[in-house]
A and B are shown apart, each in its own frame.
Chain A
Amino acid sequence: MPVIDLLVLVRGAHFAATLWAAGTVCFIVLVAPPPPPLLRRLTLMIWAALVLTVLTGAVWFVLIAANILDVPWDEIGRDGFWTVVSETRYGQIAALRLGLAVALGLLMMAPAFTGRRVLMLLAAAALAGLIALVGHAGATPGPAGWLHLASDVVHILAASAWLGGLPALALTLGAPGAAATTARFSVLGMVSVGALLASGLVNSWQLLDGPGDLTSTAYGRVLAVKIALFAAMVALAAVNRTRLTPHLPAAGATGALRRNSLIETALGLAVVLLAGALGTMIPGGHVHTNAPVTNSEAAYVHIHTEAAMADVSIDPGRAGKSNVTIRVTREDSGVYPRS
């Protein structure tokens, strides 16, 4: 299905552009207020990332709107456009994020005033973090949904701060004060890796039925590759921190660090493209069968009352020694009795 492939690609590109924009803003505000010539180049970088974010976001919106309305993309029309914006969460979040991208652009053009950088950081963080609301995390119902959503927001913000800031770091290396800048980015990177690990575990716990899903389901296998690439990035970052950063600003260390930052950026791009794919796939925890019978020899009956449901299976379902399993749940498959 070519449309799905395009959707995966566009989602990935949009996530990458958003992380890049947010990460570069974060780099300027939190890591290093660089000397003016460098600041101009970093500002240009934010503009490039922001334009890419808006363009890929527009294509993503068109693909999703066509899918929701079940029409070809060139037949969405003004009414269809407004229906998606006003009637779906995806449309509302897309409009809000477009507003945030414009606000970030205006803040960058505005003359300096107190708090401008903090506002830029907030706008960039919201631009990235709001993506969580239109992914799997945003769709999880009940109290678990709030935990999943909070965890996914942390995941996106940490990825922005670290992965999104890598191109800015590569640009900064070689400039005056690069050693101090790299040391500060390294601290931000370590905090981000910790946050990515913790939130990644929470997200996996929410979406997978168990570790076995990592090999037995398509979603799990893509996630396993994503985790492996993440591990490679962390290993590279550890080399940077322990072997190269202490030798800055020696030319050899600067060159090696720049090369490693670009390799990390490439790995990070692959990770983000996989994240774009995962959002379009069905995780193991969302696949439910009506009858929990795996053995064709088993007898099964489902009892449904207003108070609770029970799945009773007798395996094997014939005379002789059998195992009986009774699974009691509420109507919404929650724990019974209600805790």
Chain B
Amino acid sequence: MPISTAPCRPPASVQATAPKEVVIWFTEALEAKFSTIEVRDGKGAAMQAGAATLAPDNTAQLRVPLKALPPGTYKVIWRVLSVDTHRSKGEFSFKVAP
């Protein structure tokens, strides 16, 4: 389960400037090979710039770099496998202000 995300989940998810990455902190250490983050714009186009990776100092933190995001609403879809073999998934959205 995520503890926290950057950008934030709603209700405080409007970003004044476009974020350069999405970071999600989980309660458990993750398996990198089976953990992904997708970021989609309003038309469903993938906006992540590469694969999600685990932070070297925190295997419970998954991050993905982003392409330059124009103003709009974006959906973040995460699917993870924790090292104790639990799979979970979820999504949230954030807005980049004009």
B68–chain A nearest beta-carbon distance, Å = 20
29 contacts between A and B (CB under 8 A): A64-B85, A68-B85, A83-B33, A87-B31, A87-B33, A87-B34, A88-B34, A88-B81, A89-B31, A89-B83, A90-B83, A90-B84, A134-B85, A135-B84, A136-B28, A139-B28, A139-B29, A140-B29, A141-B28, A141-B29, A141-B59, A280-B86, A282-B1, A286-B1, A286-B28, A288-B1, A291-B11, A331-B23, A332-B4
What is the interface size of chain B, counting residues whose CB is below 8 A from a CB of the partner? 31
Say which residue of A64, A83, A286 sits within 8 Å of B27 (CB atoms). Answer: A286
B60 within 8 A of A: yes
> In the complex, which residues of chain B have a beta carbon less than 8 angstroms from the beta carbon of A145?
29
Say which residue of B3, B12, B60 sits within 8 Å of A288 (CB atoms). Answer: B3
- Known interface pairs A332-B4, A332-B25; A141-B60 also in contact (CB < 8 Å): yes
Other 15 A-B pairs with CB < 8 A, given A89-B83, A286-B27, A304-B6? A68-B87, A87-B34, A89-B31, A90-B83, A133-B83, A141-B27, A141-B59, A145-B29, A286-B28, A288-B3, A290-B9, A303-B12, A309-B4, A331-B6, A332-B61
Which 6 A/B pairs are nearest by Cβ-Cβ distance? A141-B60, A139-B28, A302-B12, A139-B84, A87-B33, A333-B3
A142 within 8 A of B: yes
Contact B87 A304 (CB under 8 A): no
Contact A136 B31 (CB under 8 A): no
B82 within 8 A of A: yes
Contact B31 A88 (CB under 8 A): yes
Interface of A is mostly: mixed
Interface mask (B30-66 → A, CB under 8 Å = 1, otherwise 0): 0101100000000000000000000000111100000
Q: Show the binding face of A for B, using Cβ within 8 Å.
A: 64, 67-68, 83, 87-90, 133-136, 138-142, 145, 279-280, 282, 285-288, 290-291, 300-304, 309, 329, 331-333
A191–chain B nearest beta-carbon distance, Å = 28
> In the complex, which residues of chain B have a beta carbon less than 8 angstroms from the beta carbon of A280?
86
Contact A68 B29 (CB under 8 A): no
Q: Show the binding face of B for A, using Cβ within 8 Å.
A: 1-4, 6-12, 23, 25-29, 31, 33-34, 58-61, 81-87
A138–chain B nearest beta-carbon distance, Å = 6
Cα distance A269–B57 in the bound complex, in angstroms: 39
Of all chain A residues, which has the CB nearest B28? Answer: A139
Say which residue of B2, B8, B83 sits within 8 Å of A139 (CB atoms). Answer: B83
B81–chain A nearest beta-carbon distance, Å = 6
Contact A287 B8 (CB under 8 A): no
- Known interface pairs A139-B28, A140-B28, A141-B29; A332-B3 also in contact (CB < 8 Å): yes
Of all chain B residues, which has the CB nearest A86? Answer: B33
A95–chain B nearest beta-carbon distance, Å = 15
Of all chain A residues, which has the CB nearest B59? Answer: A141
Contact A138 B83 (CB under 8 A): yes
> In the complex, which residues of chain B have a beta carbon less than 8 angstroms from the beta carbon of A142?
58, 60
Contact A288 B27 (CB under 8 A): yes
> In the complex, which residues of chain B have a beta carbon less than 8 angstroms from the beta carbon of A304?
6-8, 12
Say which residue of B4, B11, B85 sits within 8 Å of A333 (CB atoms). Answer: B4
B78–chain A nearest beta-carbon distance, Å = 14
> In the complex, which residues of chain B have a beta carbon less than 8 angstroms from the beta carbon of A286?
1, 27-28
Cα distance A291–B5 in the bound complex, in angstroms: 12
Q: Which of B10, B27, B33 has the most C-beta atoms of chain A within 10 angstroms of its own C-beta?
A: B27
Of all chain B residues, which has the CB nearest A280? Answer: B86
Of all chain A residues, which has the CB nearest B12? Answer: A302
Cα distance A280–B87 in the bound complex, in angstroms: 11
> In the complex, which residues of chain A have a beta carbon less than 8 angstroms from the beta carbon of B6?
304, 331
B93–chain A nearest beta-carbon distance, Å = 12
A325–chain B nearest beta-carbon distance, Å = 16
Contact A300 B11 (CB under 8 A): yes
Cα distance A333–B23 in the bound complex, in angstroms: 13
- Known interface pairs A89-B83, A139-B84, A304-B8; A333-B34 also in contact (CB < 8 Å): no
